[in-house]
Chain A
Amino acid sequence: MKFNQIIIALCLGFISMTSSANINIFTCEPEWNALAQEIGGDKVSSYSATTGLQDPHHIQARPSLIAKVRKADMVACTGADLEIGWLPLLLRRAGNPRIQKGQPGYFMATRYVRILEKPKMIDRSQGDVHAAGNPHIQTSPKNILPVAKAMAEKFADIDPVNGAYYQQRLDDFSVRWKKALRKWKRLVRPLKHLPIVVHHENWVYLEDFLKIKQLATLEDKPGIPPTSGHLVSLLDLMKVNPAKIIIHAGYQSEKPAKWLSKKTGIPAVKLPFTVGGTDAAKDLFSLYDDTFNRLLKAIKK
């Protein structure tokens, strides 16, 4: 019985994978996977190379990734050098002409929003600074709509027959998103000017949206473990100018944040960072619901 059910489930899965979808999408991060499903509905089938609990900077090579990119009509990723360690290699190995750089199937979300922290001058002593600016745009809900619009246009380019369908789904999504944005803006008012400490420089867009103030990062230079001198100066800073909360992402180790929290008594908060980063962050809407709820809960204590 069990075995039969598994076979049937496998067959159904196989049929649904091959038959109905018009656009096969390979996404690098779960937020773009979620967005592709919002806009594309049942006309697209999409897959995310990473989960919400993985660091999107790095990824282990698996054969299925190459197989999936090979079949894809479109890759939807963050860009701005976030996936520079693996996406170019993956695209080269897959050798699929539809999704190479410059082709219609090559979609980088950071092209469609205003990028923060674009260095005017790249100073190599500053650490793992992204020359293309900060790529973590999905931490602000304001950035989702422009990407959604661009994605719908791409879908219509690749699959013109269903252009109207994608447009209609985009319109529907826009209405719901704008409504949610208004709700979130009201909800997060108490967070304004909140002083925070972050683990890694990946919350600038959230800070911009909430108008909160980042006092310091646990990592002295992005991507490098902190030095003892940096931690001492961080503790000193917290005495003079204490933060209200310490933020870290679901995929990061909570040790550094917990350490600082213990030393200073400032609460450490885990935020989902992307869809799937926490249990509650199931789609794009609940991602921000959960993010803001966690922050609000932390300051109420």
Chain B
Amino acid sequence: MNFEAVDITILGPAFVAGLLVLSTHVPLGRTVLKRGIIFIDLAIAQIAGIGVIAADAFGWEAEGANWKIQIAAVSAALLGALLLNWTEKRFAKIQEALIGILFVLGATLGLLMLANNPHGGEHLKDLLVGQILWVSYEQLWPILALYALVLLAWFYLDIEKMNRLGFYLIFAVTITASVQLVGVYLVFASLIIPALATREKSGNSQLFFAYGLGALGYLGGLLASALFDLPSGAIIVWSLAVFGIIFSTLIARKPTEKQQKINA
């Protein structure tokens, strides 16, 4: 046990980053799960990475222009989103398989491009394995602004129900920001685990439980990481999974209203 690292100034920014990521990923994850397109975040993140490597090939990285890299990443992710929107319209039944293929194509295209442009590799790595513990509060302001817009659009325009294209575009922007902050593993876990564990609930009560579960997962993971001196991102993924299992077994024990009616 290692108590010196249990310190709000060390764990605080990471926890806030986690809450920010959860704020958008919980509602998005619900839709992702409903549509059965679980691996879309991995595919979109890889495509954003391709954008970064391309930006590097244009020599933008040498100028140290981070915003240009961000624009390249978001543009690539948006293009990927448009492509996925089209494939869902055209080949709805095989969408998940296509997403899987897009993921491996994206990942390997990155490798192929890097064979002649090795410096892009550092950025690709930064983009995909963002480390939650290195986050500082200053970095979180732009994310907060972006996610406020995303949430506004999500709930006010009710994109979940109405608009497939809107969903893919919002998803692309959100994921491009979050992978750089906390990395691909945490993005996947934040997206899927809370939504999956609370699938028996519906509407606002699902959102409430999913947010609570996600927050507990991050908090527990960060504390465990400090106490047992383990890499934070990885242990938070496990913590989310543990809380997810506990929550879904607790729910399963209580029969839902429907079942009660059937039993009666």
**18 A-B Cβ contacts within 8 A?**
A60-B234, A62-B232, A63-B226, A63-B232, A64-B2, A64-B5, A64-B229, A67-B4, A71-B4, A93-B13, A124-B62, A124-B119, A127-B118, A128-B118, A128-B122, A221-B118, A224-B118, A224-B121
C-beta contact mask, A27-48 vs B, less than 8 Å → 1, else 0?
0000000000000000000000
The answer to whether A60 and B231 touch across the interface, beta carbons within 8 angstroms, is yes
- Asked if A66 contacts B119 (CB within 8 A), the reply is no
Q: Is A233 an interface residue (CB 8 A)?
A: no
A21 close to B (CB within 8 Å): no
Query: Is A125 in contact with chain B by the CB < 8 A criterion?
Result: yes
User: Do the beta carbons of B231 and A62 come within 8 Å of each other?
Assistant: yes
Q: How far is it, in angstroms, between the C-alpha of A67 and the C-alpha of B10 when the chains are bound?
A: 7
Residue contact A66 to B121, C-beta cutoff 8 Å: no
Which stretch in B131-139, B162-170, B249-257 binds the other chain? B131-139
A151 → chain B, closest Cβ, in Å?
25
A66-B10 contact given A61-B133, A85-B122, A227-B115, CB 8 Å threshold? yes
1/0 per residue, CB under 8 A from B, across A224-236: the answer is 1001000000000
9 closest residue pairs by CB, A with B: A61-B133, A60-B231, A63-B5, A63-B226, A67-B5, A89-B134, A61-B131, A127-B118, A64-B5
The answer to the question of A176 belonging to the interface, with a C-beta cut-off of 8 Å to chain B, is: no
B222 within 8 A of A: yes
- The tally of residues in A whose CB lies under 8 Å from a CB in B reads 24
Are B122 and A62 in touch, CB under 8 angstroms? no
CB-defined interface of B101-122 with A at 8 Å, one 1/0 digit per residue? 0000000000000111111011
Which chain B residues lie closer than 8 Å to A71 at the CB level? 4
Residues in A neighbouring B131, C-beta threshold 8 A: 60-61, 89
Residue B7 at the chain A interface, CB threshold 8 Å = yes
Q: Is A92 located at the chain interface by the 8 A CB criterion? A: yes
Cβ-closest chain B residue relative to A85:
B122
Within 8 Å of chain B (Cβ to Cβ): is A160? no
Cβ of B233 under 8 Å from chain A: yes
- Taking Cβ atoms with an 8 Å cutoff, the residues of B that contact A are 2, 4-7, 10-11, 13, 62, 114-119, 121-122, 131-134, 136, 222, 225-226, 229-234
Is A90 positioned at the interface, with any CB of B under 8 Å from its CB? yes
Which of chain A's residues have a CB closer than 8 A to the CB of B10? 63, 66-67, 70, 93
B116 to chain A, nearest CB (A): 7
**Complex CA–CA separation, A124 to B63 (angstroms):** 13
CA distance A223 to B115 in the complex (A): 11
In this complex, the member of A70, A86, A227 whose beta carbon has the largest number of chain B beta carbons within 10 angstroms is A70
A66 near B5: Cβ-Cβ < 8 Å: yes
A residues within 8 Å of B by Cβ?
A: 60-64, 66-67, 70-71, 85-86, 89-90, 92-93, 124-128, 221, 223-224, 227
Chain B residues, CB < 8 A from A70:
10
Main secondary structure of the interface of A (DSSP, over half): helix
Q: Are B116 and A125 in contact (CB under 8 A)?
A: yes
B132 touches A64 (CB 8 A): no
Smallest distance from the beta carbon of B126 to chain A beta carbons, Å? 8
Q: Across the interface, which residues of A come within 8 angstroms of B229, CB to CB?
A: 62-64
- Expressed in whole angstroms, the Cα–Cα distance for A124 and B117 within the complex equals 8
- Complex-state Cα separation, A221 to B115, whole angstroms: 9
In the complex, what residue of chain A is closest to B61 when comparing beta carbons? A124
- Given A67-B4, A67-B7, A224-B118: A93 and B136 within 8 A (CB)? yes
Interface pair B230/A62, CB less than 8 Å apart: yes
A contact residues around B122 at 8 Å (CB): 85, 128
Q: Contacts A61-B232, A224-B118, A227-B115 given; indicate if A90 touches B134 (C-beta within 8 A).
A: yes
Return B109 CB to nearest CB of chain A, in Å: 15
Whole-angstrom CA separation of A71 from B4 in the bound complex: 10
Q: Determine the distance from Cα of A127 to Cα of B231 in the docked complex, in whole angstroms.
A: 29
- Would you call B5 and A223 a contact (CB within 8 A)? no
Q: A67-B5, A90-B134 are in contact. Are A62 and B118 (CB under 8 A)?
A: no
In angstroms, Cα B133 to Cα A128, docked, is 26
When distances are taken between beta carbons in the complex, the residues of chain B under 8 Å from A127 are 118
Q: Are B233 and A61 in contact (CB under 8 A)?
A: yes
Most buried by B among A63, A64, A85: A63
